[in-house]
Structure formats: C-alpha cells, structure tokens
Amino acid sequence: MQTTHTPGFTPDTPLILGMMRLHDHPVLTSPARLADWIAARLEEGLNVFDHADIYGGGECERLFGDTLRAQPLLARAVRIITKAGIVPASMDRSPWQVKHYQAEAGYLKNAIDRALTSLAMEQIDTFLIHRPDPLMQVEEVARALENAVAAGKVRQIGVSNFLPEQWRWLAANTELPLACNQSQFSLAHTDPLFDGTLEAHLADGLRWLAWSPLGGGKLADRIPADILDRAREETGLDETGLAIAWLRQIPGTPVPVLGSMNPDRIRSALQGTQTVLPRPIWYRLLESVRNTAVA
C-alpha cells in the first residue's frame, strides 16, 4: 500500500493502541493476562500504546506498569505515548472541584516523572500536552519539555487537541520539533478536511494521531445499510476496516488511535490499514456521513 508521511513520529506504525478503557476490562487487570494481550499485539506488529495521566484516574498507567515490571522484556519492546495537562473535577484538590487545564512547567515536569514511575519505563517515547491551556506560559513550558528531553526522560514531544495557531505558538518558543498532534479525525468527524486543519498539519510536518477513528462505534448508524453492504462486498472489510482504510488514505496518512481492546476489532482495523479503497467508495462514504452530495 502506497502511503505518504509527514516527518517525525512513527511512519511504520499502522495503528496506535489506546489504553483509555484498560481499567474497564477486569480480565486484563492482572499482569499475566495483560502481558499476554500485549504480547499478542506485538506479534501483530503493534508496539505503540497511548496513555494519559487521567485515564482511569491514573489506574491505566499503573496497571500497564505493573505488567511491565513483571515482564521486563515487554518493556523493551513497547513504545509509550502519554499526555498530561487536564485536571478533571474529580481530581481537583481545590475546594472548587472544577475541571481545568494545567499546562504549567512544574505540573508537566511532575507528570512526566509520575508517568515514568507508573509505567515502569526509563523513557516516554512521545509526551503530549493534552489540551491547549489559555493560561499556559509558553516559555516556561517549553524549557520544562526541553529539559525532559535533554535528561532522556522523553524522546520527543507533541500536542493533543491543538489548533494550528496554538501549536505554532508553542513551536515558535522551543527548539524541539513537534512530532504530532493527537486530535479527533474520522469518517464521523470530517471537518478537518474542509477547514484547512489537515493542510496545516501537512505544512508544519505534524503527524496526525487520530482519536475516535471509528466515530464512537456508531458509523453503522450513519451510513445506509445498502451502501455498507456494497462496500463490504467489494472490499472484504467490515465497518471497522472501512473506517480505518478511509482515514489512512488521507494525505499524511493519519495514524488511528484505536480505543478498542477487542482482538477481533483490532484485527479488522489492521486489515483496513492494508487496503486501499477505490475513490468512488471513499467519496460515497464521505457523502453518506455528511448527508451532502459531493459538490
């Protein structure tokens, strides 16, 4: 499959495995069971796992780290993305109990140290600021990130849910390249194709890591059954494979961050990464979800 890539990140990674719901799978909360699951993904060629300090209130990083402590060989084989900068209301220790952003130098420095401990890793592959913070003092944050990279705690940095001028302001204040932006992009969320956001990623060399690539699992409700049936018959892909193939065909080859931990769903997604959709199918799916004819 011919693909085009922007610089940075991991152009050889077809899928990123999102760990946001790890704590919701009791069968995977034991180190032995989770180790088997991780090993199976590595055999499929998937070695990048996406975390954040708030996933499961910190439990997701801890569960993953407990597994890596028990299986040190796995720790050498995996690559970790993690994010920080959001404080949910339930984790706000002030009397206000309000969700807020905290992209502050000290907060991010401590978050990186906590993640290394929780995940039992010597280095975070990619560290992201989870959300743009209107109170961010960009020079101080940039120095904290540069220090983390210089100390070997982080290999590369990026952002999450940033708009172009937001990431450009950070980029203008650091000598570190921004490797990626993790943001919503899918057949169910196509605005970036029409508002210039995709082209901004391409122009600035940020790899798009696309969260919710399956549209929350509701694409089948938005695409007429007859169109899905015809697309399945012609491509051999199910809804998951079609959604992933559609996304990966976009210039820059966005990398889906798959939230499902179901092995069958992961295999369907992998099949989608290996399939090129005929242009008429690509556009017919786009037309269906937008409920608007191609102009």
Place of tokens 């499902």: 260
CA distances from 113 to 148, 160, 213, 271 (A): 9, 19, 30, 37
Query: Catalytic residue among 55, 101, 107, 283, which?
Result: 55
Examine the residue annotation and report whether 101 is marked as an active-site residue of this protein. no
Residue 175 Cα distances to 57, 139, 221, angstroms: 32, 11, 45
- Residue keyed to tokens 């798009």: 208
Pairing label, strands 16-18, 86-87? unpaired
Residues 6+ apart with CB under 8 A from 95: none
What's 223's DSSP letter? S
CA 116: distance to chain centroid? 19
C-alpha to C-alpha distance for 43 and 6, rounded to whole angstroms:
26
Please give the Cα distance from 188 to 190 (Å, whole number): 6
Q: Are 154 and 127 in contact (CB under 8 A)?
A: yes
Q: Which residue has the tokens 């943001």?
A: 183
Q: Which two tokens stand for residue 287?
A: 């037309």
Q: How far apart are CA 180 and CA 191, in angstroms?
A: 19
Packing angle of the helix pair 59-70, 105-119 (nearest 10 deg): 40
**Which tokens sit at 108?**
């991010």
How far apart are alpha carbons 245 and 240 in whole angstroms? 9
CA distance 208 to 167: 13
- Report the catalytic residues: 55
